[in-house]
């Protein structure tokens, strides 16, 4: 065991929210509140967000970027999150009528909403128009026909294009390549056709072009390439906004390091200037994960421990694929730590399993935890703030956890834990 395998230096602090701390025995604190206290008052599993960190990520983006920032609601959304978006004067990327509804419920200015989706229904489009959503990003020729059926014209629209960039990330969350269900293809001429159709029609104000190359991308050169490709493609095309999507990756594992938001936006700004893309146009970015992932963590309680000598030791926690489907969907890795004793040596391999009826329901396949981890202990999985709660389900009729926001003044419940009644609320 090396000297850094326990103690304060062994804790992967870069995976924890800015407001995380620790008491003298190694118990995790969030803005001074102990996880024991939070778990006792709120029960587990529990999503805990550092509200201050969410705000400071928005501020970091605003301060360092010359263009506009639209938060991608899909990463994590609820009324309280919409209120932060409104308060920080951020635009919003909504991908469904539901996301628009929640945004409006939280006071987001409809003119700041960008509406995306490869299959927006007529009902959704009508809702967006009635609510005076700022921009609809058209994704297909069918959608153009659908939009023409709506009464209010001219409509402010953008065109989503697939620029043919293969970003280095999981194939399910890659979107910029030619083989994609999203947007109009640049290579085969569809993108140019859609742009000219929309710009010529009196029914539309074609003010934006949009591309998104994928998610959980670490290499900033992919974004530079995106800007360059768009700059060539848009030579001579007049638009107010060029929306570059989101996609900045975050570190999930102890040994991972990701670029900061500041580094990301500076690369985009720089590439925009050099290539001429930002000349006379505003660049817009749509970060989701990089705003909320590290701000959030999940607290679980250990329920059972099963040791299979020579094979594997399992600890099962009180949540799993219903609150974090990412390991099952994408094989995503997380760290798990003993939340009340972060300084103890985490040197023994366990699989942290969920409570669902599938063998694949694993939260962390090869976690390193204290060898004497015991039933009733609190486990924390950091970096669960993005695409965890937002992709949660009621699988096995497990109720969704509560979400709390913490800052210097204490914590507040922003989404209450589901109850058993919630499980039959829609049943007739």
- Tell me the closest approach of the beta carbon of residue 312 to ligand LLP, in angstroms: 26
Nearest to 321 by CA among 253, 378, 247, 398: 398
- Tell me the closest approach of the beta carbon of residue 276 to ligand LLP, in angstroms: 23
- Tell me the closest approach of the beta carbon of residue 107 to ligand LLP, in angstroms: 22
CB contact at 8 A, 319 and 401? yes
β-bridge pairing 155-162 and 28-30: unpaired
Known binding residue 358? Answer is yes
Which residue number places its CB atom closest to ligand LLP? Answer: 246
The pair of three-digit structure tokens given for residue 19, joined into one six-digit string: 């407001």
The nearer residue to ligand LLP, 134 or 287, going by C-beta atoms, is: 287
- Tell me the closest approach of the beta carbon of residue 215 to ligand LLP, in angstroms: 3
Known binding residue 25? Answer is no
Cα–Cα distance, 299 to 30 (Å, whole number): 12
The nearer residue to ligand LLP, 47 or 387, going by C-beta atoms, is: 387
The pair of three-digit structure tokens given for residue 299, joined into one six-digit string: 């607290």
- Tell me the closest approach of the beta carbon of residue 330 to ligand LLP, in angstroms: 6
Give the Å distances, CA to CA, from 392 to 74, 81, 143, 389, 402: 12, 17, 29, 5, 12
The pair of three-digit structure tokens given for residue 228, joined into one six-digit string: 């360059």
The nearer residue to ligand LLP, 112 or 326, going by C-beta atoms, is: 326
CB contact at 8 A, 181 and 155? no
Task: Give the number of other CB atoms < 10 A from CB of residue 179.
Answer: 10
- Tell me the closest approach of the beta carbon of residue 161 to ligand LLP, in angstroms: 12
The nearer residue to ligand LLP, 214 or 272, going by C-beta atoms, is: 214
- Tell me the closest approach of the beta carbon of residue 67 to ligand LLP, in angstroms: 14
β-bridge pairing 20-22 and 282-285: unpaired
Q: E strand or H helix at 43, and its extent?
A: none
Nearest to 370 by CA among 14, 26, 13, 118: 26
CB contact at 8 A, 296 and 385? yes
Known binding residue 287? Answer is yes
Contacts of 324 (CB under 8 A, 6+ apart): 298, 334, 363, 381, 384, 388, 392
Known binding residue 37? Answer is no
The nearer residue to ligand LLP, 137 or 206, going by C-beta atoms, is: 137
Known binding residue 71? Answer is no
Known binding residue 288? Answer is yes
The nearer residue to ligand LLP, 11 or 291, going by C-beta atoms, is: 291
- Tell me the closest approach of the beta carbon of residue 112 to ligand LLP, in angstroms: 15
β-bridge pairing 113-115 and 91-94: parallel
Task: Give the number of other CB atoms < 10 A from CB of residue 376.
Answer: 7
Per DSSP, the three-state class of 402 is strand
- What are the catalytic residues? 357
Contacts of 364 (CB under 8 A, 6+ apart): 327, 333, 334, 335, 336, 351, 352, 381
Give the Å distances, CA to CA, from 327 to 51, 322, 333, 402: 25, 11, 6, 21
Looking up tokens 């118990």 gives 27
Q: Which residues bind ligand LLP (CB under 6 A)?
A: 72, 74-75, 93, 116, 173, 212, 215-216, 245-248, 286-290, 326, 330, 387
Cα–Cα distance, 239 to 205 (Å, whole number): 10
Nearest to 301 by CA among 340, 331, 344, 342: 340
Q: Is the peptide bond before 17 cis (omega within 30 degrees of 0)?
A: no
The nearer residue to ligand LLP, 26 or 287, going by C-beta atoms, is: 287
The nearer residue to ligand LLP, 44 or 162, going by C-beta atoms, is: 162
For the annotated binding site for substrate, the residues are: 289, 326, 330, 358, 387
For the annotated binding site, the residues are: 247, 286-289, 326, 330, 358, 387
For the annotated binding site for pyridoxal 5'-phosphate, the residues are: 247, 286-289, 387
């Amino acid at each position: 065991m090396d000297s850094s395998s326990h103690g304060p230096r062994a804790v992967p602090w870069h995976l924890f929210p800015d407001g995380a701390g620790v008491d003298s025995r190694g118990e995790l604190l969030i803005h001074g509140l102990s996880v024991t206290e939070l778990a006792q008052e709120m029960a587990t599993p529990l999503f805990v967000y550092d509200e201050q960190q969410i705000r400071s990520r928005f501020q970091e983006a605003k301060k360092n970027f010359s263009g506009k920032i639209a938060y991608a609601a899909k990463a994590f959304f609820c009324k309280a999150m919409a209120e932060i978006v409104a308060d920080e004067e951020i635009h919003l990327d909504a991908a469904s009528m539901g996301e628009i509804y929640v945004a409006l419920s939280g006071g987001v200015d409809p003119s700041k909403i960008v509406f995306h989706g490869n299959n927006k229904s007529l009902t959704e489009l009508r809702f967006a128009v009635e609510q005076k959503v700022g921009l609809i990003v058209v994704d297909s020729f069918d959608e153009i026909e659908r939009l023409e059926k709506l009464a209010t014209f001219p409509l402010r629209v953008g065109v989503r294009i697939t620029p043919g960039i293969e970003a280095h990330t999981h194939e399910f969350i890659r979107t910029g390549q030619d083989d994609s269900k999203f947007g109009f293809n640049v290579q085969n001429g569809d993108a140019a056709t859609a742009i000219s159709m929309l710009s010529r029609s009196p029914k539309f104000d074609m003010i934006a072009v949009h591309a998104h190359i994928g998610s959980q991308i670490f290499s900033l050169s992919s974004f530079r390439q995106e800007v360059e490709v768009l700059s060539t493609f848009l030579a001579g095309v007049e638009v107010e906004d060029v929306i570059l999507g989101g996609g900045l990756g975050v570190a999930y594992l102890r040994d991972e390091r990701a670029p900061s938001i500041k580094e990301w936006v500076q690369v985009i700004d720089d590439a925009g200037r050099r290539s001429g893309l930002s000349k006379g146009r505003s660049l817009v970015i749509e970060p989701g994960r990089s705003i909320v992932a590290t701000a959030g963590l999940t607290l679980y309680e250990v329920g059972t421990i099963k040791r299979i000598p020579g094979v594997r030791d399992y600890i099962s926690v009180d949540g799993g694929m219903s609150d974090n489907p990412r390991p099952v969907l994408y094989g995503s890795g997380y760290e798990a730590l003993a939340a009340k004793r972060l300084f103890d040596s985490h040197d023994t391999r366990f699989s942290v399993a969920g409570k669902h009826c599938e063998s694949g329901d694993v939260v962390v396949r090869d976690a390193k935890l204290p060898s004497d981890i015991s039933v009733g202990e609190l486990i924390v999985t950091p970096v669960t703030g993005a695409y965890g709660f937002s992709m949660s389900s009621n699988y096995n009729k497990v109720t969704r956890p509560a979400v709390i926001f913490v800052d210097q003044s204490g914590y507040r419940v922003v989404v209450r834990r589901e109850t058993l009644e919630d499980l039959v609320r829609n049943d007739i």
